Chain A
Amino acid sequence: MENIYKPYLAEIKEIIDETPDTKTFRLQIKDPEVAKNFNFKAGQFAEYGVFGDGESTFCIASSPTRPEMIECSFKVYGKVTQALRRLNEGDTIGFRGPYGNWFPLEEQKGKNVVFIAGGIGLAPVRCVIDNVLDWRKDYKDVTIIYGARSVGDLVYKYKLKEWKEMPDVKTVITVDPGGESDGWDGEVGFVPTIVEKIAPKAENTIAVICGPPVMIKFTMPVLKKLGFSDENIFTTLENRMKCGLGKCGRCNVGGVYVCKDGPVFNYAQLKELPDEF
């Protein structure tokens, strides 16, 4: 019998403290055969489980072009993320995945790409960024706009530094007004304002956006004003999920199961769905 609910076991190889309440795990699947054959695409997610506390859904934050480790980042919010926080390097967790669809990166080759992320919303975007950067010559201009509430809330600071140093990537980091600290050399302002200021051109460009609902709400009109069509704006949804397999019914919205038909949607698709996100 095939048990679709049975996870692989994965070892926590490294834990990175991103912010006081956000951590990144670098994971390795324990079964060498499975680890060797494991592959996924940018945008897919997985179920990460602590035995005794349950499972939680996060995207795979690392890029499929860098398969050595599976990375995930999570903000400590609920029961499972609190249990995950208590774990140490060398501990074992459950891993089910990869699940869901992915960003259509192959189809978008030859285009400019604008990444817009806020807070922990950088996690699902980061795998796409690294994927695009590893295929850098296949894309034209690459712009990254990332914001957080304060300097302390910025995740992946080591990545931000790496991207900023790349000559062929335009990286703009911002913090909300009042969130700057001494020596901050980035922008100060909300993400929608910064997007308007940077004004990436919409022609032959796709936008990948992920962040808190309020950021998305105010960034969308800016992108529309800049001339982005709904078909060229992609996002990834974070509905509550349990099975990840299109069975348990939790992430059903309109005719879709976010876990199977998503989590990646473009805005034209989202407009067809009831407003239940």
Chain B
Amino acid sequence: MGDEGFKMEEKIISKQNLLNLCNDIIADGHDLIAPGKTEYGVVRDTSQIVLDTSSKPTKASYKTFVFPKAEPVLYYKRGKNDVVILDAEPEQKKTVIIGAKPCDTNSFNILSKVFNWDYKDDFFNYRVKNFIVIGMMCGFSDKYCFCTSVGSSPVSDKGSDLFLIPVDAENYAVRIVTDKGKEFIDKYSKYLTEGNPEKSKEVADKVKQPEVAFDSQQVHDWLSKNFEHPKWEGIGDMCLSCAQCAFVCPVCHCFDIVDEDYGYTEGRRMKNWDGCQFGHFTLHASGHNPRDIQGKRYRQRINHKFKYYVDKFGEILCTGCGRCSRGCAVSIDIKEIVADCKD
């Protein structure tokens, strides 16, 4: 994804041919993931696909398809004194996602930093390697959206291999963003005709952009100076510590490693999503907890996203999708909180 120096090509595909393409992808034995009414899911039938630039972002991102909610990392069998470990491996299956929003498409690039900065997590890497991301311009914007505040936009093709822009009522422009995308779409060239990048640019330029809510550099600098600040406790008093914000987030990646026995002698070791908003996350067996109150945990969430990850990996750990705020039971709005990180 994001191969530099690649000369951008553009094609046209009709809406009908896009559905034909989807049918072919399924017929070719690949997993096809598309947004449905509320969630991204694997589709067996193209009637399940909701491809509409004005649709609301799904409740959760599609990170679970490369970093599953729960996945076995090994299986074990216990003997009297001995143990046998059996390998677990992700299924090597080509997976295509179509109609991904720009606030989702860059998530793999951001996640890849932590999953590869030293030790390589091949459970993640193997899935990403087999993934084709077909992003689509976004025409939706509500009060929770803030992609433009974190370096993205509703027309960003960052992280997409192919990128769709509806140029008229019947046709999409297909921007070929990466070599991987080109190699993939070449197999389906019968559905494509030559495109006109000027026309798609004209459409993209007209898309309503969410207002920029904050300057991420200023937020970073403010956080550097305000680890101790009364606002954290205030937010902590509101927050339910339910961690839904982490689960719907395209780039939250904290996990737990848990053994699951199924029977007296065997079981599996799981890598399960976890969340830094849970009190048990940092709780020591001794009872000591470095982040013992919710205010400290919320402070960690914001600092990790807008300062620590930026310092360590050069990326903001947030795509501005607004899902965490849209889903919050107590109406905590991350955009407002971050925008308020100023003197």
Contact = CB atoms under 8 A, between A and B. Distances in A.
A and B: bona fide binding partners: yes
A276 B296 contact: yes
A34 interface: no
Interface string A41-53: 0000000010111
Contacts of A81: 285
Contacts of A92: 81-83
A153 to B, nearest CB: 15
Contacts of A90: 81
A52 B308 contact: no
Contact of B83 (A51, A55, A56, A253): A51
Given A55-B257, A90-B81, A253 B290 contact: yes
A51 B259 contact: yes
Contacts of A252: 300, 304, 308
Contacts of A49: 259, 269
B281 A247 contact: no
B89 interface: yes
A33 interface: no
B206 interface: no
Given A51-B259, A242-B255, A4 B121 contact: yes
Interface residues of A, number: 44
SS of A interface (majority): loop
Contacts of A51: 76, 78, 83, 259, 267, 269
A211 to B, nearest CB: 13
B144 interface: no
Contacts of B285: 56, 77-79, 81
A148 B78 CA distance: 38
B219 interface: no
Given A9-B85, A52-B267, A276-B296, A246 B283 contact: no
B114 interface: yes
Given A77-B285, A247-B114, A52 B261 contact: yes
A240 B296 CA distance: 16
Contacts of A55: 257
A160 to B, nearest CB: 24
Contact of B276 (A56, A246, A249, A277): A249
B118 interface: yes
Interface string B292-309: 000010001001100110
Interface string B70-86: 00011010100111010
A167 interface: no
Question: Which of B259, B284, B300 has most A Cβ within 10 Å?
Answer: B259
A9 B83 contact: yes
Contacts of A213: 288
B290 A245 contact: no
Contacts of B78: 51-52
B242 interface: no
Question: Which of B271, B290, B296 has most A Cβ within 10 Å?
Answer: B290
B283 A248 contact: no
Given A2-B122, A247-B115, A247-B119, 19 more contacts: A3-B123, A4-B120, A6-B74, A51-B259, A52-B78, A52-B259, A52-B261, A56-B285, A92-B81, A243-B255, A246-B114, A246-B118, A248-B254, A248-B255, A249-B274, A249-B276, A250-B274, A252-B304, A252-B308
15 contacts: A3-B74, A3-B87, A6-B85, A52-B267, A55-B257, A56-B285, A77-B286, A78-B285, A81-B285, A94-B85, A240-B283, A245-B118, A245-B121, A247-B255, A249-B274
- Closest 4 pairs (CB-CB, A-B): A78-B285, A249-B254, A77-B285, A5-B73
